[in-house]
Amino acid sequence: MAFSIRSLKIRQQILLVTLPPLVVLLCAIALLFYAYWMALHAGRGTRRSLESVAQGEQLLRHAAEMHLGVRGYVFTRDHAFLAPYEEAVAQIPAELANLRELESDSPSQSAEVDAIQRGLNRWQTEWANPTITSVNRGSLAESSQLVTEGERRLASVRTLMLTLLEEDRAENYAALRETEQQMRRMLGLALGVALMVALALAMVTREVAGLLEQPVRQLIEASERVSRGDFQPSLPPPADNEFGILSRSFSHMTNALRQEREELAALNRFSEAVPQCTSEVEVYDHILHSLKERFRPTQVMIFKLNPAENVLEAAATLVPLPEEVRDWPVIPEPHNCKAVRMGRRFRVNDVKAEPLLCPAKFVAPSEGSYYCGPLIAGGVIIGAVRVEGSKDFWTPERESLLESYLSGAATALSNLRLLESTKQQANVDELTGLYNRRFVEEYARKLIAMARRQGHPLGIIMMDLDHFKEVNDVYGHEVGDRVLRQFAKTVTRALREANVAARYGGEEFLVVLPETLPKGCLLVAERIRKAVERMVVPSGTDKPLPQLTVSLGIAVYPEHGQGLEELLQASDKALYESKRAGRNRTTLYVRQEEPAS
């Protein structure tokens, strides 16, 4: 029973509680109407019986009056005694008719009424009328005997009347007793039905109240547990009623809250991890890992905006790019990317049904959906991200979550680039674009330590432009700055990628050559010297600049020193020797023998 009631809807359960009282009320009303009908019926029968008794008594009285009237007339010959007789004679037919109608429900009593009428008619025709006629003629014999004969004749009729009266009285008493018994039985039946219905109602009410209370308590407890962060609450059992619907809705809401909380926690972890990255590659790895974990995409492409070359370069991808674009993974014109051009995201939920909105068509997916969003930091677009997924994958909620990831990534990338730019400004000479003295000394110390661990050589070339002070004095500092810039470009072109050139101060420059022996250092120094000889710098005036030359001094670790200071002193001494020997030459440091004491 509990299961069947639990499966009912709340309205049906409430009806189950409210219907029994309604049935009891209807039964009570029906019993009331029945009792009222019985009372009416009993009252009608009682009234008929009483009327029959009254009518019989009146008929009996009129019969007695008839006899007394004739008797008085017989003894007194006074016509006044005939008035009651005649009045009774006139009323008796109507009274008999009324009595017959009242006794119509009982054939035996109707027959008795007919017998009374016949007896009265015989008494009247056989005794009363003849007696009155005889008195009127004066031929009446013995009066006492005649009156006795009349009484005898009327006695049988009176007996019938008394019998009818007794029957009516007995019938009335029986009807009253039957009505009383029926009322008692009906009252007992009503009390029994009411008691049974009350017990059943109490049981059903208790059961339904428990069924209504239990899921409400479970839902309240579940909501409290969810508010405390427990997303695995105990919910009401499955049912087809409103509580089942509410339980399913609560479960869906709990799952959505749990998923939202997990997404928020993952986003917080991403937001905490990305700012700690020390390179853009590390940021790209975090983006790919997080998007793969949260969205399960088929492909993720991160594009980096290169303003110098005016391209969008695929800096990182979740799945390797096809062979045909791997060597040149770029979108030639950034504005071909719709996300970059519009500065906002766009999506295609079904590439087969919707037009391909991205005019770049860079490795466009052939099925499913994709989302493209710009990477914006400080109002500046620094790149774009494309995320590909299944058909109809992108919902407003997923788009909002993805934009949160992209916003955090864009900020981290922008901060890294700003930091790199700051470092670059701190480490680079503003005039020549070469590294400055502070950076090259720090860098050289690291290389010396590495060379010491690995047992490799390291070369230092100290350079100084010959007669540069005269250029400044004669042509001005603007031309001198031009000479320094051109010299920096010439030196950079003459070096390998692993070599580092720096402006050490004024017109003095330094080159660090990792893993280079003295012979290799001499070759590099001579290549620089000859390139400077061929260097042409316009003076901007009618007077051309004289030929520029450079003097170079070389020192090599570990032959000429164990630390940077020793190597710098050795290369500076070798440079001094080049200057002293006539400039425009290269000198390898030679350790001087200490004089014997």
Cα 440 to Cα 442: distance, rounded to the nearest angstrom: 5
Active site residue 507: yes
Q: How far apart are the first and last CA of the chain?
A: 121
Residue 201 identity (one-letter amino acid): L
E strand spans, 293-438? 299-306, 311-317, 330-331, 346-348, 369-377, 380-389
Nearest to 12 by CA among 195, 194, 204, 213: 204
Residue 507 and residue 465 in contact, taking contact as beta carbons nearer than 8 Å:
yes
Whose tokens are 């009303």? That residue is: 29
Cα 81 to Cα 239: distance, rounded to the nearest angstrom: 98
Residue 3 identity (one-letter amino acid): F
- Does a cis peptide bond (omega within 30 degrees of 0) precede residue 558? yes
Two tokens, residue 166: 């007794």
Residue 102 and residue 51 in contact, taking contact as beta carbons nearer than 8 Å:
yes
Judged by DSSP in three states, 558 sits in: coil
Nearest to 169 by CA among 58, 61, 56: 56
> How far, rounded to the nearest angstrom, does the alpha carbon of residue 196 sit from its chain's CA centroid?
47
Pairing type for strands 550-557 and 458-465 reads antiparallel
Q: Where would I find the H helices in 455-549?
A: 468-475, 477-494, 518-533
DSSP 371: E
Cα 575 to Cα 585: distance, rounded to the nearest angstrom: 9
Pairing type for strands 330-331 and 346-348 reads unpaired
Q: Which one of the listed residues 65, 280, 388, 507 is annotated catalytic? A: 507
Residue 71 and residue 147 in contact, taking contact as beta carbons nearer than 8 Å:
yes
Which of the residues are catalytic?
A: 507
